[in-house]
Amino acid sequence: MMTDNTVDLEVVNSDIKSINLGNLKTVEFDLDLPLSGKLGSDIVWETSDERWLTSQGVVTRPTYGRGNRIVTLTATVQKGTASNKREFKVNVLQEGNHIKVKQVYPIELTVKMNTDFYLPSAVAIQTDDNRVISHLVEWDGPTKRSYQAVGTYEVTGCIKDTAYQFTATIVVSSEVKATLDLPQKLSLFALDHVRLSEGTPFYEAQQNRLAFLLNVNDDQMLHNFRTAAGLDTRDAPEMIGWDAPNSLLKGHTTGHYLSALAKCFATTGNSKILSKLDYMVQELMAVQAAFSKKAGIHEGFLSGYSEEQFDLLEVYKPYPEIWAPYYTLHKILAGLIDAYEYGHNQNALEIAKKIGHWTYQRLSRLPHEQLVKMWSMYIAGEFGGMNDSLARLTKITGDQEFVECAKLFDNDKLMFPLLENVDALNGMHANQHIPQVIGWLEIFSVTHEEKYYIAAKRFWDFVVNNHVYSIGGVGNGEMFHAPNDIAGQLGKDTAETCATYNMLKLTELLMQYQPDTKYMAYYEHATYNHILATTADNQNGESTYFMPTSTGHHREFDDENSCCHGTGLENHFMYNTGIYFKDDQSFYINLLMDSTLIDQQHHVTIKTREAVNEVAVQITTELLAEKTLKVRIPEWGTIGSVVVNNQEVTTGQKGQYIELSLTATDNTIQIIFNKEALVIPSDKTTVFSIQRGPYVLVQSGADLAEIKLTNDLEQLNLITQQSERFMPLYSVGNNDYQLYFETASELEE
């Protein structure tokens, strides 16, 4: 005799088999999800990703260019106490290309006769709603060309997935100058030669990160690697967040951790940190050796998972089926190179070289068109700064294979509009692309190919001039938007931390090639007002992912091994690097950060004292090889006085350098910089931020509308002096704040 439960189970199994949702391979419209079965069971639906398909069957298609999405719908069928589940894989199609092209920016390529070249895979276009974007193209005929005669030629193409056709001009010459003779004019001092002074917020941020790193479980950081290689995990706990066992990005935080340990050792000299770094490298070497013995794994591979994701990328599997395998590899490779450069670990370099050779062997066999398609894939094709790390390997080893591999990551969608001198960043993921630009400069440092420097410099100019918030951060929801739309892009999910961290790296490199105070003005601004504010006031290693720019939000801190948590492990150990520079004739002080520089030819100390209306700086040189001292005049200050060895001198222009010709190596220089409230305008003339000294001020308090700002700068100056509610962002704690203010009319100078 059948029990009630047996009957119910038969109903459930019958109803679960009879569910028919139609064609789920090409879903463009909402799904009709039944809530009851034909025999009377109840059906409850769950979705793996509400963004694209809700549990009610509502479909939101990804925008064009982001690829289709595979979403898992789970039906739980119940009757009485009996239940069963059934999964449905739903392929939600991306939207079609609705772009209407207004114009393609003029394309003229100059190439050398009898030399192979590739037509660009993307160009800058203007849409009918006046957006300027980069878009993929399809050419009539092969993308690889060569011309055997000098002359001017025309080629035709079509904007991909549209009917819009255009013509490009090819100028063929017998000689083409493709290199640029531009040496690095300035050099940095090694991190381990600079120490920050106690009592400053920068020093405290470093010490908090140091304390956190000392408590990290190294075996936990190795867990995914040992598991993938078939080694004993030594009972270490699993990683969490983006490095959890079910994550496809696992391993990236371990790379950041290597970099953090290396840079921490360099800036603090802590021997326990060096021991942790050496242990990590030793164990990763064992993992790499174990991988080499596994079937299907090629010599040199190292990751927190197998080679499968790399295989799938080559057959264009989209995100989230795979998740940026070369992005993860970059973090590991960069961490190993940092372990060598900052931690002097030779084994780290040997592991890194093997990864570099593995990468070259894998990518050099692929056709150009396949690489183009891979790097254009949304998220799946994100590769971080692989080109950066590979070029660094060539600089260290002299092996040209690595820089040739770095160039295999060239991305026309980003580079070609820059070579056309067009800001087509709108719609691009900010921190996906900034590391690529850093890589261009590292490639240029090896090959001196002009295009890499030109594109990098223009990228920086476009970003800093057109896309930066008042604190130095970029992006809304991680994305670049239209240029000069800052007031329209204020929000909660703005100014991604890792994007600013990488902008600082790019800025520092450009400064070495073209010494210009504009670079260090941005560097100071983003360091003091964004990076310093990204860390929680504790020793938990937490960092902000986004920094809100609209009123009424507060900082939120992340410890789940996100990208910004990863760079957050590193970035506070990089304060030391932007302070001091030198060339053959001069010694530069670019940041007025309390610190001491000590090496065989230099012993320089900076001490600052900040008051309401001035910043007093004392610079002591006990040893100085160069006889010309250049101190950057900050954009927020005017010179009150300059006293050298008790004698007042007159020198300098705002925004440039105080240049002092010193006759002795031992000197005491005292400089007073006057400060007053300054306005940082947005693109909207009535919307602005306020700066006093190096800090942008936010208003903090329960009622952010209580203090009313006027359009009179003198009155604004008094308010910011007297109100305790105006403070630097780093000191705002967990309170809500206001970064941008608005007046009824334009500010009166």
Secondary structure of 598-635 in the HEC alphabet? ECCCEEEEEEEEECCCEEEEEEEEEEECCCEEEEECCC
What is the H or E stretch that residue 544 is in?
A: strand 543-544
Answer whether residue 466 is part of any domain: no
Q: Are 594 and 720 within one domain?
A: no
Residue 617 scores a pLDDT above 90? yes
- Count the neighbouring beta carbons within 10 Å of the beta carbon of residue 740: 20
Cβ proximity of 133 and 100 under 8 Å: no
Q: Which tokens is 148 given?
A: 């055997």
CA distance to 71, 229, 234, 425, 472, per residue, from 288 (Å):
34, 8, 17, 38, 39
> Among 93-102, 270-279, 436-445, where is mean pLDDT lowest?
93-102
pLDDT of residue 15: 94
Q: Are 300 and 385 within one domain?
A: yes
First to last CA, the chain: 93
Q: Which of 159, 84, 174 is nearest to 127 (CA)?
A: 159
d(CA 85, CA 698): 52
Q: Are 687 and 659 within one domain?
A: no
The CA radius of gyration of the chain, in Å to the nearest whole number, is 28
pLDDT of residue 233: 98
Q: Are 248 and 369 within one domain?
A: yes
Q: What are all long-range contacts of 701-704, with beta carbons under 8 Å and residues at least 24 apart?
A: 701/725, 701/735, 704/551, 704/552, 704/736, 704/737, 704/738
Stretch 123-150: mean pLDDT, rounded? 96
Q: How confident is the model at residue 709 (pLDDT cuts 50, 70, 90)?
A: low
pLDDT of residue 346: 98
CA-angle at 330, arms to 326 and 335, nearest 5°: 155
d(CA 578, CA 592): 10
Answer whether residue 116 is part of any domain: yes
Cis amide bond preceding 320, omega within 30: yes
Q: Given its phi and psi angles, is residue 475 left (phi above 0), alpha (psi -120 to 50 degrees) or beta?
A: left
Stretch 162-173: mean pLDDT, rounded? 97
pLDDT of residue 1: 43
Residue that the structure tokens 């009879």 belong to? 18
d(CA 190, CA 41): 70
> Among 45-54, 58-67, 207-216, where is mean pLDDT lowest?
58-67
SS3 content of the chain, % helix, strand, coil (to 5): 35, 25, 40
d(CA 4, CA 360): 64
Which amino acid makes up residue 528? Y
Q: For residue range 650-661, list pLDDT tens digits in order.
A: 876 666 999 999
Q: For residue range 447-488, list pLDDT tens digits in order.
A: 999 999 999 999 999 999 999 999 999 999 999 999 999 999
476 CB-near residues (< 8 Å, 6+ apart): 489, 491, 493, 494
Residue 92 three-state SS? strand
Q: Are 662 and 687 within one domain?
A: no
Q: Are 352 and 366 within one domain?
A: yes
Which amino acid makes up residue 598? I
Stretch 588-596: mean pLDDT, rounded? 97
Residue 702 scores a pLDDT above 70? no
Residue 3 scores a pLDDT above 90? no
Stretch 297-310: mean pLDDT, rounded? 97
Answer whether residue 206 is part of any domain: no
pLDDT of residue 451: 98
One-character DSSP codes across 292-342: TTSTT--TT---SS-THHHHHHHTTPPTTTS--HHHHHHHHHHHHHHHHHT
pTM of the full structure: 0.91
Q: Which of 322, 325, 376 is nearest to 64 (CA)?
A: 376
Which amino acid makes up residue 695? Y
Residue 25 scores a pLDDT above 80? yes
Q: Are 240 and 124 within one domain?
A: no
d(CA 664, CA 677): 37
Cβ proximity of 403 and 447 under 8 Å: yes
Which amino acid makes up residue 503? M
pLDDT of residue 653: 65
Residue 707 scores a pLDDT above 60? no
Residue 444 scores a pLDDT above 90? yes
CA distance to 8, 15, 19, 197, per residue, from 39 (Å):
10, 6, 11, 76
Residue 153 is part of a domain; what is its CATH number?
2.60.40
Cα dihedral across residues 465, 466, 471, 474: positive or negative: negative
The number of domains in the chain is 5
Q: Are 670 and 711 within one domain?
A: no
* Listed residues 141, 173, 205: the one ending a domain: 173
- Count the neighbouring beta carbons within 10 Å of the beta carbon of residue 608: 19
d(CA 488, CA 680): 16
**Strand duo 695-700 + 687-692: pairing:** antiparallel
pLDDT of residue 749: 45
d(CA 606, CA 591): 9
Answer whether residue 269 is part of any domain: yes
Answer whether residue 182 is part of any domain: no
Mean pLDDT across the chain, nearest whole number? 93
Q: For residue range 58-90, list pLDDT tens digits in order.
A: 999 988 877 888 899 999 999 999 999 999 999
Q: For residue range 671-683, list pLDDT tens digits in order.
A: 999 988 888 989 9
pLDDT of residue 406: 98
d(CA 403, CA 738): 46
Q: Are 238 and 319 within one domain?
A: yes
Q: How far is CA 339 from the centre of its chain?
A: 20
Q: Are 82 and 112 within one domain?
A: no
142 CB-near residues (< 8 Å, 6+ apart): none
Residue 87 three-state SS? strand
Residue 620 is part of a domain; what is its CATH number?
2.60.420
* Listed residues 652, 675, 698: the one ending a domain: 675
d(CA 318, CA 741): 42
Which amino acid makes up residue 36? S
Q: Are 246 and 124 within one domain?
A: no
pLDDT of residue 686: 83
Higher-confidence residue of 121 and 558: namely 121
Residue that the structure tokens 């090409």 belong to? 26
Q: How confident is the model at residue 320 (pLDDT cuts 50, 70, 90)?
A: confident
Residue 369 scores a pLDDT above 80? yes
Q: Which domain holds residue 126?
A: 101-173
Query: Angle formed by the axes of helices 252-268 and 563-570, to 10°?
Result: 20
| CB burial of residue 612 (10 Å; 0-12, 13-18, 19+) | exposed
Answer whether residue 550 is part of any domain: no
Q: How confident is the model at residue 537 (pLDDT cuts 50, 70, 90)?
A: confident
Answer whether residue 455 is part of any domain: no
Residue that the structure tokens 């190179």 belong to? 337
Cβ proximity of 689 and 740 under 8 Å: yes
Stretch 404-423: mean pLDDT, rounded? 98
* Listed residues 645, 675, 705: the one ending a domain: 675
Answer whether residue 287 is part of any domain: yes
Q: What percent of the chain has pLDDT over 70?
A: 95
pLDDT of residue 684: 87
Q: Bridge partners of 7? A: none
One-character DSSP codes across 63-74: PTTS--EEEEEE
Q: Are 599 and 698 within one domain?
A: no
